C-alpha cells in the first residue's frame, strides 16, 4: 500500500517503511508489531517517560542509532536485551 494506505502498488514495488501511519493515527500498532511472534520490535512515544520505549532506552544498552552523525534526529534504535 502507498504512504497513506489508500492505493495498492504493483507486486514487486518497494517502498520505505512508514510504520503503518494509517494504523498508528487511529491508535493501533504497526502491522509488523502485531504479527511478530517473538516481540522483537518495540514501538512507542520516546517523549513519554512512562512508555515502554523510553524505559528501554534508559535501561538497555543501545548500540546503534542510525545516521546520528548526520543530525537527522533518527528515531530507530537497536539495543541488547541482556
pLDDT at 41 exceeding the cut of 80: yes
pLDDT at 60 exceeding the cut of 80: yes
> What confidence tens digit (pLDDT) does each residue in 15-29 have?
777 788 888 889 899
Q: What is the pLDDT of residue 17?
A: 79
How many CB atoms sit inside 10 A of residue 31's CB? 11
Q: What is the pLDDT of residue 82?
A: 67
CB 45 within 8 A of CB 60: no
Q: Mean per-residue pLDDT for 33-40?
A: 89
CB 30 within 8 A of CB 24: yes
Tell me the three cell numbers of residue 30.
504497526
Tell me the three cell numbers of residue 52.
515502554
Pick the more confident residue, 62 or 14.
Answer: 62
The CA–CA distances, whole Å, from 68 to 42, 46, 65 equal 20, 16, 6
Mean pLDDT rounded to a whole number for the chain = 80
Amino acid at each position: 500500500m502507498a504512504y497513506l494506505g489508500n492505493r495498492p502498488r504493483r507486486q514487486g514495488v518497494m517502498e520505505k517503511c512508514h510504520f503503518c501511519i494509517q494504523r498508528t493515527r487511529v491508535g493501533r500498532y504497526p502491522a509488523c508489531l502485531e504479527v511478530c511472534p517473538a516481540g522483537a520490535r518495540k514501538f512507542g512515544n520516546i517523549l513519554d517517560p512512562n512508555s515502554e520505549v523510553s524505559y528501554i532506552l534508559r535501561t538497555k544498552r543501545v548500540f546503534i542509532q542510525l545516521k546520528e552523525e548526520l543530525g537527522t534526529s533518527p528515531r530507530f534504535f537497536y539495543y541488547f536485551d541482556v
